[in-house]
Structure 1
């Protein structure tokens, strides 16, 4: 028996490859599936099953494409319904894989169809659970993502309470836990940086598995502090349920080199968004007018999903050489399948063609400190709510303007005002600056973000007072 976790850091996602006697099961595969086919072929093995723990909301799974490529059967838990062929297992149903067995444990709560897959080894011993978003290390799945359910998040949290106590906590302490996500995922609140653990350790340390916890306490604690899900979550879940364009077609359409003239023509004719995925330093220095920055080196796909509201938005790329296919792939992982090409030769070819470029003024933290007491200076802190509450600059001219909700809060900023933007280190503030600038606002970026500002003599506070722009 072989178990391999295939972890993708930018999505904080773990897919799994399980092999026994030449038969393979893949659990929660990514959109690009050739990697699983190649891995099985290199072992002279055949993919027999594709298990989906639930309808994922934070990425588009590769289950449909993988089934078409291999003939493997897609397995969902009880209650799932799809627009494509799949097997909907019953609670307790077992699937033979070589010398091992994969048993379905229906564990509703994160979603109604959520299931945990129990791996029983060659000796009939419970070896591991693949818990999807039901149980993470340090946390459990948020219960507010069910597709078109009449149930409330409180109802689902109550179901999750039962699922954990009746199906998972009854298993032995030495059972290995393989979750679908680690730290950085928006599918939970307190996920550990570790991606593999033991169930016994979770029983001791995971707040949601306390033995003396009442149902009401569980519901309250699980729901406490949950922020609204990113707008793309429901759309990705529906794609996973209903189907999608095959990945090879998406990649072929997007991996197209365009001259500056063709790039500009496509942008104008198709109403395409120009997405610049270089570093924030490169973007600040020079970029195509009205382009948006989201660097491929950071949490690229989740920020694309949070900020670009239309999954069908035509997209043109300004991308570092050699990362064209990677960028199209990472866009497709969160359902953005309408990439139309990339700028051949990058920004240098754009400049050589005599086309306009723009820049964003960027100043140091020390320079901001010099300007801080000016009557006209207005600072936007674009970090997340928890970061801002923990510590921020003190002053009536400091406003919390979280990047996550920038599209909802555009009516709170004034085009006649100049805004100084910062995040923690510089990545998110340039994203925010690019969006505001493209919409006609005057912006100045603070290089180094709050990490640099902390080293100045500016006053900081952990007290959150009401602030309006």
Structure 2
């Protein structure tokens, strides 16, 4: 038996391949199937099964493409209400793949239709449990993503109660040395306190995961519901796409409209994916700057700023960068509302001046300061007492709240998000003086930290 963990750093999302006697089963495969194909070829094996824990909100799964390409059977709980051929896996149901057995565990709480899959070795000993978005390392999957989405829609409070039962009646009964393989790690928006560790054991979670420590159900529910982060605009859409099954990633990227020298209509949503330094030297008027470097959270912020029913354009420096942007947009199902991906766009261009840092440091009250961090981040401390908090995902809807009688300075925690926030404010309030504090925020962040510790 071979178990391979595939991890997408941008989405903090894990997929798994399990090989036994020339047969491969996948658990929660992300949209790019090539790593799974390579794994099966390396082991001279065939992909025969896909186990889906639930319809994911944060990424698009490749289960349908794998089924069509390899004839693999998709196993999922019937409560999901899917639109493709599948085999139902209810609590306790088993499927043998080579010499290993997958046993379904019904584990609602993050969603009302969630399965985990317990892996039994050839001696029927518990080897691992693939917990999807139910049990994480140090946390459990948030209960507030399925209000208004999915085949079954349940209130967050009901789901929180279900998670208490899942933790105490299902996971607590597993063998202590069973390895825990969750679908997410630190940085994912599917939980709030996830560890940076990508795997654990049941014993470790019983000892250290907060969800196992609270034995009163009411107190568990209250603690679970408190302090959850924002929900990106694309999450409910991804649930529906995954319930129906998405087309092949290669097809999605290949079929996207690509144009060189296109004049983009005025009033369009334009996402300029270039580095912020290049963007500020010259960009189309009204464009939003979401940077698309390898380590950036491009998918998350694209899907948090642009709604899934909004049409948009992508801009990049060259064809390679353009294809990379389309690829990443497709990872969250956003190729469907992409009008065109453009190099060398025509139209009115503008440049962006830099803030006078000395003046800003000496006269902060002369500026309107907009803090676009999440509310949970601001709760841990402001960098500027006078700053108004408008989280980046809400900025397009709330820009009218900004006082433009003074120059506006936009900041985040490290400089990446503020490029997007600054460009949104500038596009919506064209008569205002708007500046991006950018990476310089780290200096003020350090001063705040030093002051609070002194």
Q: Decide which moves more: 71-80 or 104-113.
A: 71-80
Alpha-carbon distance in 2 for matches of 1:455, 1:178: 36
Does 2:89 align with 1:89?
Answer: yes
Does 2:402 align with 1:399?
Answer: no
Return closer, same or farther for 1:409/1:224 CA change in 2, 3 Å cut-off: same
SS of equivalent residue, structure 2 residue 168? helix
Alpha-carbon distance in 2 for matches of 1:460, 1:401: 24
Return closer, same or farther for 1:166/1:456 CA change in 2, 3 Å cut-off: closer
Counterpart contact for 1:394–1:459, Cα < 8 Å: no
Q: Decide which moves more: 236-245 or 99-108.
A: 236-245
Return closer, same or farther for 1:193/1:172 CA change in 2, 3 Å cut-off: same
Moved over 6 A (4+): 457-462
- Following superposition of structure 1 onto structure 2, how do residues 52-71 of structure 1 map, counting pairs within 5 Å? 52-71=52-71
Q: Decide which moves more: 169-178 or 36-45.
A: 36-45
2:224 aligns to what? 222
Alpha-carbon distance in 1 for matches of 2:15, 2:171: 20
Counterpart contact for 1:236–1:334, Cα < 8 Å: yes
2:364 aligns to what? 372
SS of equivalent residue, structure 1 residue 58? coil
Alpha-carbon distance in 2 for matches of 1:60, 1:92: 27
**How far did residue 19 of structure 1 move?**
0.4
Counterpart contact for 1:392–1:460, Cα < 8 Å: no
Does 2:409 align with 1:420?
Answer: yes
- Following superposition of structure 1 onto structure 2, how do residues 29-428 of structure 1 map, counting pairs within 5 Å? 29-146=29-146, 147=150, 149=152, 151-210=154-213, 213-254=215-256, 256=258, 258-260=259-261, 263-264=262-263, 267-268=264-265, 272-297=268-293, 298-311=296-309, 313-319=311-317, 322-337=320-335, 338-344=337-343, 349=344, 356-363=348-355, 365-374=357-366, 377-396=367-386, 398-414=387-403, 417-428=406-417
2:422 aligns to what? 433
SS of equivalent residue, structure 1 residue 208? helix
Return closer, same or farther for 1:242/1:404 CA change in 2, 3 Å cut-off: same
2:444 aligns to what? 453
Counterpart contact for 1:83–1:243, Cα < 8 Å: yes
Counterpart contact for 1:364–1:448, Cα < 8 Å: no
**How far did residue 26 of structure 1 move?**
0.8
**How far did residue 190 of structure 1 move?**
0.3
**How far did residue 245 of structure 1 move?**
3.9
Query: C-alpha root-mean-square deviation of aligned residues, in Å?
Result: 2.4
Alpha-carbon distance in 2 for matches of 1:111, 1:47: 27
Return closer, same or farther for 1:186/1:296 CA change in 2, 3 Å cut-off: same
Alpha-carbon distance in 2 for matches of 1:456, 1:431: 24
**How far did residue 340 of structure 1 move?**
4.5
SS of equivalent residue, structure 1 residue 102? strand
Q: Deviations over 1:141-196 (max 9, x none)?
A: 11122326453211111111111111111111111010000011111110111111
SS of equivalent residue, structure 1 residue 323? helix
Alpha-carbon distance in 2 for matches of 1:213, 1:234: 32
SS of equivalent residue, structure 1 residue 234? helix
| TM-score normalized by the length of structure 1 | 0.89
Counterpart contact for 1:369–1:457, Cα < 8 Å: no
Counterpart contact for 1:78–1:106, Cα < 8 Å: no
Alpha-carbon distance in 2 for matches of 1:89, 1:322: 42
Return closer, same or farther for 1:204/1:395 CA change in 2, 3 Å cut-off: closer
**How far did residue 10 of structure 1 move?**
0.5
**How far did residue 124 of structure 1 move?**
1.7
Q: Deviations over 1:318-345 (max 9, x none)?
A: 246633322211101111014354434x
Q: State the aligned residue count.
A: 445
Alpha-carbon distance in 1 for matches of 2:407, 2:255: 40
**How far did residue 457 of structure 1 move?**
9.0
Alpha-carbon distance in 2 for matches of 1:4, 1:458: 41
Return closer, same or farther for 1:79/1:342 CA change in 2, 3 Å cut-off: closer
Counterpart contact for 1:383–1:403, Cα < 8 Å: yes
Return closer, same or farther for 1:103/1:458 CA change in 2, 3 Å cut-off: closer
**How far did residue 459 of structure 1 move?**
11
2:10 aligns to what? 10
Q: Decide which moves more: 321-330 or 105-114.
A: 321-330
